[in-house]
Chains A and B, each alone.
Chain A
């Protein structure tokens, strides 16, 4: 430990593994460093191991091997109530027999804080989530969004440096969820706490996070800021999991300066960035975002014929499903503006892309 304290990661997973039955690993060799004040989201489908990681950090599950450090101190043997970590649960976990104020006072009371201080802090926390007038209500008398705010306030009222959130917005309707996302983000910025957030909703992750760890099969597939994750997915799973994605299978025929020449299975040779495609001769999956596909006025080497199958009017853009290279699930988003081509169903057109927008990735299982 020669590094200065400030350089040390705030949270550090070091080779952590977890198995419930001694036969399969739900978390495989997890290494993750989280900086102080960072908002990190663990994103992944259910069963990917993200919640288990959170529970290990909170202390409700023990790591089977490896060590978790908090501010440089190993915490594997620290019981949950001594970790001083705030936590927001999926269904809020508000204590139904206590009022909102009592719920908020609970963490302060168990810390033996003076009564006057407790009152002041509870009031301040309620103010922070705009619930000042609800202190005497029981949780059952609140709406889902209000309960959410109370749960958030309760996790923050004792001023923890680290707050964990386990799908906290899962039970809210779409509008409220989006509203709460901003609220949480603002509170995070305001308080400067470190947040580890678990969700399976990519838009939630993209909206709020400094960095996102995409989980699959007990392994972090990619750890990157939201823009990188979307623009530059490392592998087919990430590309597919984050945002919409067109896939075209082919064989790498040459690699030059990081650009791969790929022979499509049912089509011509095209160029793509060689991200994760293996050596010449191996099979690869090309990944192109629908909004990066050019229609008709294509410049550059990548040109294919497209047959328009379906048009869906979505206001700001038109979503167009085409048949390209024998696959009829090729999606193109055409901005709804005069300078873009108007397509008609049954029409044949030319599609293409800039080489930088197309990434040659691995063949993810099930990607065909």
Chain B
């Protein structure tokens, strides 16, 4: 039954993402309907993750010997990088004998651009957001990746069908996880906590500072959802000047109470220090604070904005071949499933889902309900529209910065 629901979800999502990301223009209503169906399907599929009828992992990937090779892997640091180290790096090092240098960054294409333009590319494989992946590809900053080299799923499904449909469309990137921007609070400091995204913007009912990422991305969407815009209308509204004004007006209502964060590791720290009463965050970071450090944080999933993370290989990477091997391994069924047991980001391969059971050190903590895509969490969710941001980020960033500074 698990397999069946998953395939259902897959086809639904294939439609949706295809429409939403690729050459879609025109029929929004149809796309949105498809998205809703997809969400329902994914929810069902992921709910089954805790079920435990995992199938045995097939020999999906064979390690070549890369003795003497080295790969520089760049990611976002903190608990997220740790999950990658545990699930990707360690087995890869053990299997191939290659060396891995792990570096942290804060997102964006600046460093990659600088390296490529200087002709001295020291990063071999980089974890980027979807919008950056598309942009890197368009601007020739990333190597094209032939998707046919990706190993088949553990259940024998061809890679092209195994990945959530549409996610392989970016020519130079391979997706790894589904993550989400949510907001969280400290349940010890706030007994009767917030329930909806509107509560986040209600400083009268829930007094205290708010943590927000210093970027318009996700903030504008959340502001509109809190202002009563349905998730599937958010980008329509944002496409007009009035909609942008409306979003900024909503942000304005809490501006004086905002503490801005930039690195993903900051929000749990802000919460723990009592610097903020609630904060937006990447869901995995909050989960990690709860699971690994026993922090009494609660995640509010209402109004979450979800996105993909992908690997890209910068154009002219010095260790391109080894990086490609690393990419193949780390996006294999088992590796993706392993990662999901370290942090609550959903794997992008359907065949990984059944292999994810519980948090690595706590058998009684099933990962399923922690995922952004779990049905309970997915009721009012919005996928980040990379195209909208690629088109409008200059203008919105500028306006956001002006708004911040004035």
Asked if chains A and B are in direct contact (CB within 8 A), the reply is no
Chain A residues close to B by CB (< 8 Å): none
